Structure 1
Amino acid sequence: MVRPAKNSNTTEEPDVIKAMEKVKTMKYSPPYGATNGTSTGDTCPTCRGTGRIPRGHEGQLVAVIPCNDVRLKPRRTKLYVCVSMVLCLLLCNLILFFLFPRSVTLTPVSVLSVMVYFTPDTVEMEVTNLVNISNQNFVPVKIVEFTIQGLVSNAVVGKTKISNMTDIQPRSQNSYTIEIDLPLADKGLNTYCKSSSIKIHTLFLQLQMTLNISYLSHMEQLSLDTYEYIDCGTNSTTPHPVR
């Protein structure tokens, strides 16, 4: 009686397949702590040998990369730094250029008219002047207060204060008409102005102007003294320049 021989391929085939799968797994997913895929080690505690990070744990894990990784050496770093510095310097220069305080100028133009009124004891004069205020800044200038006082023979004879003047727009000039009342109570001046034997009653008038302005969050005061000749014996409505 002849017994059939056992087929060894059927018993060895499952072991061969398992060995090949193990080699393949070790090749692509080496054990935790292995460097060449051949050394033994523990399973990675993060992915547990699957090679994937568990969902929902991305914010709790830290990736470790070698120092020579290209991601740690971004390209054109010096170029970006230089461009940023140039842009910052340009922006600072522009801010300084537009916000740097510039001059605000007060300039008398002319005497528009002089109205004279005689009373028994005084000579009342109403002098109208034209002044220009120029703004060289790139921001508006607010006129807080304008004060003008008149002096005759070093004595103050009249004073006017104005606080409702319009603002001056950037890089512009405004003209303002300023009126000041000058009552003359001095007996000598009264006699001089009312004398009919004198054809031209000339007075030397000194005007002291003070301008308070506000711009760029600070206050500034401008002062100006001007001198002009007026006729206190008759009305004068012919404009003439201020000396």
Structure 2
Amino acid sequence: MGTQGHHSSISEDPDLTAGMERGKTLFNFPSYGSMNGNSTGDTCPTCRGTGRIPRGHEDQLVAVIPCNDVRLKPRRTKLYVCISMAVCLLLCCLILFFLFPRSITLTPVSVLSVMVYFTPDTVDMEVTNLINITNNNFVPVQIVEFNVQGLVTDIVVGKTKISNMTAIQSRSQKSYTIRVDLPIEDKGLNTYCKSSSIKIHTLFLELQMTMNISYLSHTEQLSMNTFEYIDCGTNSTIPHPVSR
């Protein structure tokens, strides 16, 4: 009788029964870091091996993701990386194509007119030239300064400076009319130009043109030399081409 009563008191103890169940659960629960429960490892630092999270420590959870979790192996990773690299390469090529500096050409076209004025000591001439400026860039080009220097037989006879020229738009060509004042003071040339016995008073005029331009945050200087023939004995308004 006494033995049976003793066993009944043990089986009916609720605390002892709960402890035994918890022990069985912990025994069957795999160790921290183990997938099949056979390998040894440390206990979970969050639940301390109890399988329960203490109250007030929810913000200190540690997530353990198995190595075969699909989230660790995203699909089409190489495809996305290749597409991203291709897009970046295409953008770089487009930027280089549109912003790469291209040539700007200065082209003399013709002599429009030559006006001659005789004075007792000099021969004053106004030579009007037509030039073309071509912008091959995809950005506008600003003309900062334009200088023209006239030479006759290697002697500088006149200079002109123009600083109010407008900008040239992208991928376009613009024509400008340039007038150069050439006062000839050399006595031999004056006699040659004023002589009435000579029907054609031809002078070979050299024009040295220099243009300062600005585009894409940098400046450049273009230069061009032209050789043209003019008649210093009379006015001429018949355009004729020039040579470079």
**Which runs of 5 or more residues in structure 2 are unaligned?**
1-10, 38-42
Alignment of 1:78 onto 2:78: yes
Q: 2:119 maps to what in 1?
A: 119
Aligned to 1:234: 234
Change (3 A) 1:149 1:47: same
The answer as to 2:102 corresponding to 1:102 is yes
Q: 1:236 to 1:52 in 2, by over 3 A?
A: farther
Q: Could you state the TM-score of these two structures normalised by the residue count of structure 2?
A: 0.79
Between the two proteins, what is the percent identity of the paired residues?
A: 75
Equivalent in the alignment of 2:166: 166
The whole-number CA distance in structure 2 between the counterparts of 1:55 and 1:150 is 93
Contact 1:117 1:124 (C-alpha < 8 Å) held by counterparts: yes
> What secondary structure, in the 3-state scheme, does the structure 1 residue paired with 2:93 have?
helix
Structure 1 unaligned residues grouped into runs of 5+: 1-11, 38-42
**Partner secondary structure for residue 165 of structure 1:** coil
CA contact (8 A) 2:46 2:62 kept: no
Per the alignment, residue 87 of structure 1 pairs with: 87
Which AA in structure 2 matches 1:96? L
Q: CA RMSD in A?
A: 3.5
Q: Structure 2: which amino acid aligns with 1:229?
A: Y
Q: Deviations over 1:98-129 (max 9, x none)?
A: 11111110000111111111111101101110
**Amino acid in the other structure paired with 1:155:** I
1:44 to partner: Cα distance: 6.9
TM-score, scaled relative to structure 1: 0.79
Shift of 1:223: 1.2
Q: Distance in 1 between matches of 2:231 and 2:167?
A: 33
Where in structure 2 are the equivalents of 1:47-196 lying within 5 Å?
57-58=58-59, 60-196=60-196
Match of 2:218 in 1: 218
Q: Structure 1 pair 210/55, CA: closer, same or farther in 2 (3 Å)?
A: farther
Judged with a 3 Å threshold, the aligned counterparts in structure 2 of structure 1 residues 151 and 196 are, in CA distance, closer, same or farther, namely: same
3-state DSSP class of the match of 1:236? coil
- Where does residue 8 of structure 2 map in the other structure? none
